[in-house]
Structure 1
């Protein structure tokens, strides 16, 4: 069992990577067809992940349960990201990150109706408040905010498949090292990505991408596909699914800041109001969990004194 500090550092790193990934995705598709950027991302990530497994001498199980877990994990990669990449034509990086702020709510609904997990009254209230915040963002964005209903729908699908993957991996509960789980999920994602190639062959890159697009693509490979997935599956095995989804509460404002500073994405006052309402809703949703965690930490500190 990893130490508390180890889990905390993993959590912080994951938040930073996921806050910067939407902008990296937007940049990576500026000079490459968006689906080719996704395919190339996995084609590069797979051999690197396999090499890391060999160098670190990590066992890669191929039994039925492990393969099932790899398939479940791939839904947080290719399953979710195919919709995210498609949404880049309609949404800015900041809005994409804000949409992922709904992941805890989606996870809560999946847990309630798919796994019979009980939701408290305050959680339902938090959900409603967060949805109101998203509605403010979507209706106040306009052309300057790069907000489009199709993009919103695509991101809802992305958030759903990502949230479903968390529960699916935990339900399979395979005894697999996080790096092996990440590699297996990347392998399945790569195979699925290759199935897309016949449909996008006519858009195959015929030139070397611009430096910014190339560096952004490499960032999505190394940070988002490898390091982030290692952190993600490590956290999946050690913390609750809803707590893991809380990472998406922290990323939107960071992502919007990155987009504004690095990509000149305009941010209206109403977008900030909507984001604040959404985050407040998520705070209400997690209030009891956060209070319980503080009380538990206080008791542990008292016992250790």
Structure 2
């Protein structure tokens, strides 16, 4: 799997995951759906390792990387599953688009790097204004929407913290399948405990859309998607990884409208566009300006060399 293909897989998975989570939670209790998803994903990952690698590839020396990566599953995933009960899958994807801003803030404390230039501060202000537009509108439409928004803010913070901590660690020697399995195994106890505390009932498995959504989430989102994401996080620049949330919300909203009958009102459209515009100012514009400055410097050096 090359970086371009892995990048496209991450975009496709991120765009479809919110809808699949919402569909799976329509039949299964949220914690049951999340636990079943990762139990199945762990079983499949173990089979793949046994078939193609002749045994377990988990290594004691990598346990810290597994633990940090598991934060992206637990407590992140329970928060997302619970949030889909209050807000649309499209809004879940939009809330996930705020991750680069949170990663930037965390980078100051974790990586000792301050990414907030004046231009990026402008992008942050525009995105926050968009988030306020969405929040005010959701509160007016549904008194319980604040629960879903707070849950997604918690989810995005946990996901961002996991990514920033992983970026600080040397994971270049860890195979993506190994890291995916390690993260899921470390996250399973927390998922199962949440299931037991919140519901504890083992649901009946029926051949319906919710069951197929769990299978899709286990096979595609949890194994293929995690492998592709860890590979992209390891091989591509952090700025390029941060563009994924800029691309996926529009796709996720379209899927929500087409397959779940979700409504996208004018305020949600406006707020989403403001968040994505802010993200573009934050992520895309600085890179374009940097490349332009470099091309000018290179051209100037080439012209000087010709005169000499």
Regarding TM over 0.5, the answer is: yes
Partner Cα distance (2:142, 2:193) in 1: 34
Matched, 1:69 2:71: no
Q: Once the two structures are superposed, what CA deviation does each residue of 1:231-266 show, in whole Å capped at 9, x if it has no partner?
A: 011011112334313211111111001001111101
Q: Which residue is 1:17 aligned to?
A: 13
Q: 1:291 Cα deviation (Å)?
A: 4.2
**Post-superposition shift, 1:293?**
5.6
Question: What's the counterpart of residue 151 of structure 2?
Answer: 154
Residue 117 (1) aligns with residue 113 (2): yes
| 1:267 positional shift | 0.8
Correspondence list, 1:211-226, <5 A = 211-226=208-223
Aligned to 1:139, which of 132, 136, 139?
A: 136
- 169-178 or 261-270, which deviates more: 169-178
Are residue 100 (structure 1) and residue 100 (structure 2) matched? no
Secondary structure in structure 2 of the residue aligned to 1:141: helix
> Does the Cα contact within 8 Å between 1:35 and 1:85 map onto a contact in 2?
yes
The separation in 2 between residues aligned to 1:79 and 1:289, in whole angstroms, is 33
1:37 CA displacement: 0.5
Q: What is the TM-score when the length of structure 1 is the normalising length?
A: 0.89
Report Cα offsets for 1:41-66 as digits up to 9, x if no partner. 111000101111233328724233x1
With normalisation by structure 2, the TM-score equals 0.88
1:84 and 2:49 are equivalent in the alignment = no
Using the TM superposition, name which of 170-179 and 158-167 deviates more: 170-179
* CA distance in structure 1 between the aligned counterparts of 2:87 and 2:104, rounded to whole angstroms: 25
Aligned pair count reads 294
Output the CA distance in 2 between the equivalents of 1:270 and 1:260: 16
Q: 1:83 to 1:195 in 2, by over 3 A?
A: same
Q: RMSD across aligned C-alpha pairs, in angstroms?
A: 2.4
Residues 39 and 190, structure 1, Cα contact 8 Å, conserved in 2? yes
Q: Is the 8 A contact 1:145 1:266 kept in 2?
A: no
- The verdict on how the C-alpha distance between 1:17 and 1:257 changes in structure 2, with shifts beyond 3 A counting, is same
Name the CA shift for 1:63/1:252 in 2 (closer, same or farther; >3 Å): same
Matched, 1:228 2:225: yes
Consecutive unaligned residues of structure 1, counting only runs of 5 or more, are 300-305
Structure 2 stretches lacking a partner, 5+ long: 299-308
1:155-190, Cα deviation, whole Å (9 max, x unpaired): 001001111111111222132111111111111122
Q: Distance in 2 between matches of 1:187 and 1:150?
A: 29
d(CA) in 2 for partners of 1:26 and 1:156?
Answer: 17
- Counterparts of 1:174-213 in structure 2, within 5 Å, are 174=171, 175-205=173-203, 207-209=204-206, 211-213=208-210
